[in-house]
Amino acid sequence: MPKVRCEREGDVAVVTLADPPLNLFGRDLLADMHAALDEAAASAARALVVRAEGNVFTGGADVKMFEGLTGAQVREELNLIAIPHKLEAMPIPTLAVVHALCLTAGFELALGCDLIWAAESAQFGLVEAVVGVTPFMGGTQRVAERAGPARARELVMTGGLYPAARMAEWGVINRVVPDGELEEKAMRFAARLAAGPTRAHAATKRMVRAFLEGGVPGADAAMNDVAAEVVETEDFKGGVRSFLADGPGKATFAGR
């Protein structure tokens, strides 16, 4: 059985860590994650949820994977940064749904998503310092992107565990939900995103990326090209017709 699986719930692709009790990121799970993300990307899904089975989201990386590891192997074999890159390249909204413990590679997986929702009891940590390394899957820079460099340094250098409420206060995650309500509310939210104007959502992702890479001037430079593409979509044209005929909030979107 794969350690990660991809399923569909309506227009939502659901990628699930399925190797309890700890969902540790070893070589097999990483290979299965690549396959599941590729499957999701190739599907007609209009939103993606990343979740986990078991009592924890993940205990993080399987330390056995690092025994005897060389620098060349990190570059040529592991290439861990490819996983958040795959998530960030998806032209659909992506949502990580985190419960209980979320460490190292699993936290970095979540940081590759557009949005992160967490249960009230969830705890997050980039604890790689305990084995003498820094995060290999882009966690440091993605925390800095969301919360600023000082927060990133603190979180990584201390190797501590941080509660969901603190992560929300810092802007690392988007929403904290009561434990018993997380899955239901997150899936309902994902379905709402999937029913929206998918290509407009992709344009929003492009504009945020343009801002992160080039500031307001970089985003402004991309604006007209992005807008020109969106106004040619079926969803935009239908949305305008619906607004003029029936008022706001009545349009339905096909994702085209």
Q: Please state the domain extents for the chain.
A: 4-194, 198-246
Structure confidence by residue, pLDDT tens digits, 1-33: 999 999 999 999 999 999 999 999 999 999 999
| pLDDT at position 185 | 98
- 4-194: in CATH 3.90.226.10: yes
Type of residue numbered 106:
G
> What is the C-alpha separation between 61 and 30, in angstroms, rounded?
10
H or E element, residue 225? helix 198-230
- The full 3-state SS of 29-94, as one line of letters, equals HHHHHHHHHHHHHHCCCCEEEEEECCCCCECCECHHHHCCCCHHHHHHHHCCCHHHHHHHHCCCCE
Residues of the chain predicted below pLDDT 50 = none
| pLDDT at position 253 | 97
Beginning with the edge strand found earlier in the chain, give each strand of the sheet holding 94-98 in spatial order: 4-9, 12-17, 47-52, 94-98, 115-119, 175-177
Distance of CA 114 to the CA centre of its chain: 5
| pLDDT at position 136 | 92
